[in-house]
Structure 1
Amino acid sequence: MHALPLTQPSQPADWIDRLIAEHRPGYGLARPFYMDPAIFERDMERLIRRHWHCLGHESIIPNPGDFELFKLENEAIILTRGMDGVIHAMLNVCRHRGAEVCTKPKGNAKVFVCPYHAWTYANDGTLRAARLMPKDFDRHAHGLKKLHVRVAEGLIFISFAERPLDFDPIAQALRASCGQYGWAEAKVAHRETYELEANWKLAVENYVECYHCGPAHPEYSQTHALEQPAEMIAELNAKMEQRTCALGIDIISKDQWQTSENGQEAIHTFRYALYDGVATGSEDGKPLAPLMGRFTAYDGGVTSIHLGGTSFLVCYADHGMIYRFIPRSVDRCDMELVWLVRRDATEGVDYDLDKLTWLWKVTTEEDKKIIEHTARGVKSHYFEPGPIAPMEYNELRYINWYLEELARA
């Protein structure tokens, strides 16, 4: 496998290290972290190119020869299923002069032919033909650059790192969580991408805290209890766990949120309850689709997974959600939402797509507005970060983790 080494900064950036050192504990990030192109480049070098990222569910490329293009900052990734069924991820960069070899967003192809000089690559990235090259030219040394790929519970993960972080604990955590919900036997019901005029960290910080849920998400707050005081949440969670155990299901909450210093990925699995009488994440709390995995009834709970800084997963008993954060530039990012249902479920018969997607579409449209409000606000030269509220404990942890990763060469 040919993986990409981490790039090195082109010039000293001691001022970034000083800015990290000057961060005030318990407070948000300073303005340059959202505005400065040099910090964005370090984000790409030390976070995006170091950690694992979920591209989606393998059901999007079900057949041999299927492919889809993904973009992350300036990198274009060809995700393919080879003729032997194995999934590959390659950079969309010809090994001759760098032209894009895949020019369609998705499809089915046995080969990719560069439109510039017709170098031809198999859908596993190997170079099949390079016209008019000398006899001693080594085709085997000029395949498309490949990324590390792992598939766990139907989810496809890629890493740009030359030596990727240990994935085995991630696979185990996903088996103990998404595996109980049958995600390996799921399929994609819908995908939606939201373009944001905001630094990617503003979007992630918004996602990981529910301090804003009450004022910003009245629809979400009708069914999800995360904005309630800790005592009430604990009581609801205890009832939820009793119902889950009564179904013979044991979903392990485990906090492995850590820096990559010891070669480990960050992952945190946790559970929380819906309000009493609410079955799932829907407009009215009523069921949306056939039960998944080991669930034979609704337990009134949600399992949430935070993974590697850009990938977030939400498991309901009858559907799942993949939430991807995709940096584009210092002041632009995308959020992609992916809805999963049981593989044998039929749209219009087993589920209504509008009802299935309603809650998270409404919530994400609201998030887009408040994130962009914040992005415009932090542009002010007079912006100073305020203290993190107690309910924003996940954001505080994310900020501290981010700063440690950014400081680690």
Structure 2
Amino acid sequence: MGVISIQNYASNDPIDALVAAHQPGHGLTRAFYSDPAIYERDMERLFRRHWHCLAHESVIPNPGDFELFRIENEAIILSRGMDGSVHAMLNVCRHRGAEVCTKPKGNAKFFVCPYHAWTYSNDGSLRAARLMPKDFDRSAHGLKKLHVRVASGLVFITFAENPLDFDPIEQSLRTSCGQYGWGEAKVAYRQTYAVDANWKLAVENYVECYHCGPAHPEYSQTHALEQPPEMIEKLNQAMEGRTCALGVEIGSGNHWQTSINGQEAIHTFRYALYDGVSTGSEDGKPVAPLMGRFTDYDGGVTSIHLGGTSFFVCYPDHGMIYRFIPKTVDTCEMELIWLVRGDAEEGRDYDLEKLTWLWKVTTEEDKKIIEHTARGVASRFFEPGPIAPMEYNELRYIGWYLDEISRP
């Protein structure tokens, strides 16, 4: 895989100077994890530019359903309009700025601001503004809306006024998650992990498996990513043969790119489980009904990295959504979402404890490792070392990140 080159932009800005001083092939220096100014630039130039997976649309199945989400200091109302359309709106009254949605989730045709009773439809349009003059234009004062797209059941939002092109992303998801039936899936379980670390430390940990052997013995018993390249190639070839025999065609491809040309970054790749392992579980045995086009297990996994904060893992019988959510310069959250077939019933078709066991164990281990790293990186004596060959995805991610925050 190629490494994205960091663009050089003339500037006397101290953050740009840190980017220019970055040592190729090495990790980021301490300031990138601790400097509030860099964190704010992360928000401005990365989080407010890219697409982010907010949820699976099954969390708002019915007209009027809504749920409140938070990314950094922004609160977003995700709602399903009475016509079935999906909307994403900022939870900020257009009068004096009070929060109009005061419940975490529910069903409502209207949101009434508790301050002055301005009333909004669940599509964000302003329906009533009491005691305002006759010439007041309600149509110009609806809740501010975010661009929203739904692809293979996944809801994406962006804060950008002019969004990055989403159509290629939709196509990539259709040929990957779509083959696993994610569009017809439902959420079986969700869990959020609070992490005392800068959000980049959490993402960097996720994108590399150099740590899998030492930190995740349970995961490493079923997933073969640490084997020598020739062994991995042999396992992958056998996996692809089984997938083809099932008549399933899963798209893959490395389209990890900077946004300079208006494109979003996405990388879809496949890898094998060990022989005899069906899925990501404690013992490698199935944990839920088969999904999508799968009529049997192919012994493989499809993984998707998208836009820097959204990551997906597809097994034939369940799916995983990983969301990385910044909170402050030194805190973040990781939300895990387990998907199963839409008609599957807990207790009959799957055991929730068995379904969630592997990724709960793995994420609890990740939380500890990330927080250990955050405390170590806080040392004034910390110097980033060279990136190992197995950390090629992290090397690519660092280059991509530095380029994104370098461009206005």
TM range (shorter): over 0.9
Deviations 1:241-294 (A, max 9, x none): 000011011112111000000000000000000000000000001011100000
**Structure 1 118/13 Cα, relative in aligned 2: closer, same or farther at 3 Å?**
farther
Q: Is 1:301 aligned to 2:293, yes or no?
A: no
Offset at residue 119 of structure 1 (A)? 0.5
Q: 1:305 corresponds to which letter in structure 2? A: I
Aligned match of 1:325: 324
Offset at residue 229 of structure 1 (A)? 1.6
Q: 2:140 corresponds to which letter in structure 1? A: A
Q: Aligned partners of 1:59, 1:150: CA distance in 2, in Å?
A: 14
Aligned match of 2:368: 369
Aligned match of 2:265: 266
Unmatched tracts of structure 1, length 5 or more? 1-11
Aligned match of 2:149: 150
Aligned match of 1:344: 343
Offset at residue 232 of structure 1 (A)? 1.1
Aligned match of 2:20: 21
Offset at residue 228 of structure 1 (A)? 1.5
Q: Secondary structure at the match of 2:221?
A: helix
Q: 1:83 corresponds to which letter in structure 2? A: M
Q: Secondary structure at the match of 1:223?
A: coil
Q: Aligned partners of 1:13, 1:406: CA distance in 2, in Å?
A: 15
Offset at residue 374 of structure 1 (A)? 0.4
Q: Is 1:178 aligned to 2:164, yes or no?
A: no
Q: Is 1:402 aligned to 2:401, yes or no?
A: yes
Q: Aligned partners of 1:99, 1:252: CA distance in 2, in Å?
A: 45
Q: Aligned partners of 1:164, 1:235: CA distance in 2, in Å?
A: 41
Offset at residue 56 of structure 1 (A)? 1.2
Q: Aligned partners of 2:230, 2:402: CA distance in 1, in Å?
A: 31
Unmatched tracts of structure 2, length 5 or more? 1-10
Q: Aligned partners of 1:108, 1:398: CA distance in 2, in Å?
A: 39
Q: Aligned partners of 2:78, 2:178: CA distance in 1, in Å?
A: 23
Aligned match of 1:201: 200
Q: Secondary structure at the match of 1:269?
A: strand
Aligned match of 2:274: 275
Aligned match of 1:5: none
Q: Aligned partners of 2:103, 2:181: CA distance in 1, in Å?
A: 32
Q: 2:382 corresponds to which letter in structure 1? A: F
Q: Secondary structure at the match of 1:151?
A: strand
Q: 2:51 corresponds to which letter in structure 1? A: W
Deviations 1:316-338 (A, max 9, x none): 00000000000001001000000
Deviations 1:40-81 (A, max 9, x none): 000000110000000111000000000000000000000000
Deviations 1:143-183 (A, max 9, x none): 00000000000000001100000000000000010111010
Aligned match of 1:94: 93
Offset at residue 339 of structure 1 (A)? 0.3
Offset at residue 227 of structure 1 (A)? 1.5
Q: Aligned partners of 1:379, 1:13: CA distance in 2, in Å?
A: 26
Offset at residue 231 of structure 1 (A)? 1.5
Deviations 1:108-139 (A, max 9, x none): 00000001111110000000111111111111
Q: Which runs of 4+ in 1 moved over 3 A?
A: none
Q: 1:225 corresponds to which letter in structure 2? A: A
User: Structure 2-normalised TM-score?
Assistant: 0.97
User: What are the within-5 Å matches in structure 2 for residues 230-245 of structure 1?
Assistant: 230-245=229-244
Q: Aligned partners of 1:234, 1:326: CA distance in 2, in Å?
A: 34
Deviations 1:166-211 (A, max 9, x none): 0000000000101110100100000000000000000000000000
Aligned match of 1:289: 288
User: What are the within-5 Å matches in structure 2 for residues 105-184 of structure 1?
Assistant: 105-184=104-183
**Count of matched residue pairs:** 398
Deviations 1:301-322 (A, max 9, x none): 0000000000000000000000
Q: Aligned partners of 2:229, 2:402: CA distance in 1, in Å?
A: 28
Offset at residue 13 of structure 1 (A)? 7.3
Q: Secondary structure at the match of 2:261?
A: coil
User: Structure 1-normalised TM-score?
Assistant: 0.97
Q: Aligned partners of 1:16, 1:157: CA distance in 2, in Å?
A: 29
Q: Aligned partners of 2:128, 2:235: CA distance in 1, in Å?
A: 62
245-254 vs 388-397, which deviates more? 245-254
